Amino acid sequence: MSSVRSSTAIVNESGIAFGTSGARGLVEQFTDEVCAAFTVAFITAIQRFFRFDRIAIGMDRRPSSPAMAAACASAAHALGIQVDDYGVLPTPALALQAMADCIPCIMITGSHIPFDRNGIKFYRPDGEITKADEIAILNAEAAMPSLSAPARGEVSEVANQAYTERFTSWFPGKPLKAWRVGLYQHSAAGRDLSAHILSELGAEVVVLGRSEAFVPVDTEAVSDEDQAQGRAWANQHQLHALFSTDGDGDRPLLGDETGTWQRGDILGLLCARALEIEALAVPVSCNTAIEACGAFQVVERTRIGSPYVLDSMATLSERFARVAGFEANGGFLLGSRLEDDGRQLAALPTRDALLPALTLMVAAAERGATLSQLFADLPARYTASDRLKDFATEKSHALLAEWQASPELMQQTLGLEATIVSLDSTDGLRATLENDDIVHLRPSGNAPELRCYSESTSQEQASALVKRSLAALAKL
C-alpha cells in the first residue's frame, strides 16, 4: 500500500469532502490508502501547532468502520505515532479522553447517514478541528510513508470509564432512582455505555430496539415509524422517559412520558437554562424560543455545523464565564467549566448527547415533574424538519439562488399561504412569513439531500409546513 504520491493527491482524487462535521463519503471511497492519507495529512497539519507522540482512535458500529480504523492506525504507526485504540464508543467519550490526555484523536463515523456511507472526524488536542484546519488537511502535501498491513491494537476501556465518571460525579447519588427509562439502543455506539450510566444514576433501564444491523437514526428527521414506536413503547412499559442517540452518540433523541420525541434545540435550550448558561451560540436553524424565553444574556446565530458554533463560542468566552452552544439536532457543546456545590463539570466543546438528556431527566425528577411539563414551560414556538433524499446539491444551490432573487417565486412554488417578509441567507435560505411562520431550506453538507426546517405556533402547523414544502419540491 506504499505510494510516492502526496496525501493531498490521494485525498483530492478520492472525491471525499468535509461536510458540517468531518469528512464524509461512500464506503467504497474510503479505501485503506485514502484513510491513511487523511491520517497522514491530519497529523502533519496538527503537528505545526502541537507536540505529541500518541493519537487516540475510536469508531461507531458501521460494518466498514473497523477496516477504516485499522488503516488510520497503520498510518499513524508509520509516522512513529503510538495509537490508543478505544474501539466502539461515543464520539464525545473519545474527545473527552483525548482532551484530558492532550493528544489528537480520530473518530470513524458517519453519524446518522446510511450505512453505505461513512466518515472521519478529527480532533486537535484542544477540541474539534476548525474550518482552517480542514483546509490545512486538504492541502498538507505530506509525503506518504511506507505502510504496513492495516491492523488495530488492544482496545482500552479508559475512555468509557472517564465518560461515566463525568456524569456520576456531576449528578451525585441516585437522582433517577424512581424513574423507568426506555433506552432505544438500535446500533448506537454508546448503547451499552448509556445503559450503564443511567443505571448508575438509579434509573430502571428498559432496553428497546437493539439491532446488530446498522440503523441510521437521524435526530432531526425522526421517521413516522420511530414516532409511532416511541408512543407504543411508552404506553407498554409505563416509561418516565425514552432515550436514544444517533450512530456515534453526539446527538440525543429524548422522548417524554407519552413517548413523544422532542426537538433537539428544545432539549438544548432547557439544558442551557438549567445549567445557568449566560451566552449561547446556536445555528440559524434553531427555534426562536431561545431568544423569546429571555434566559440568556446573548444568543449568537451561526451557520449550521459545529465548527461555526465553536468559533462563536470562542468569541463569547472572552466576555462570559458560562458559555455553551447546541444545534438543532440536540448535540450540546459545553464551552466553560461549570462548578456547583463543590462539583465540577469540565468543558467539552464538542457535541454530546448525554448531557442534555440527563440534565432534563434529573431536573424533572428533582422537581417531581414530568418531562412534558418541562417542555410546556416555554414560549409556544414549534419546529419541524425533514429532508428530500436524492436531490442533487447543485440543483439545490441553483434553486435557492433563484429564490433569493425572487421571494415571490419561492412563495408561489412552495404554495406558502402568507407573504415572505424577510430572507436570511446565513446558511441556505430562511424565509420569515408575514404570520411569523418560518421556512428554511438548506442543502445537506453530508449527502445529496435538501433539508427543510419550519417553525410555527403549533406542532401540527410546523409539520404541515414541512410536508407541503417538500411535496412541492419533489415535483420540481
Active site residues: 111
Contact 124, 46 (CB under 8 A): yes
Cα R_g (the chain), whole angstroms:
22
Query: Burial, 377: exposed, middle or buried (Cβ in 10 Å; 0-12, 13-18, 19+)?
Result: exposed
Pairing of strands 82-88, 54-59: parallel
Contact 428, 442 (CB under 8 A): yes
Return all residues near 460 (Cβ < 8 A) that are at least 6 apart. Answer: none
Q: What share of the chain is helix, strand, coil (3-state, %, to 5)?
A: 40, 25, 40
Query: What is the per-residue DSSP string for 403-461?
Result: HHH-HHHHHHHHT-SS-EEEEE-SSSEEEEETTS-EEEEEE-SSSS-EEEEEEESSHHH
Contact 244, 220 (CB under 8 A): no
Three-state DSSP state, 82: strand
Report the alpha-carbon distance of residue 253 to residue 209 in Å, rounded: 14
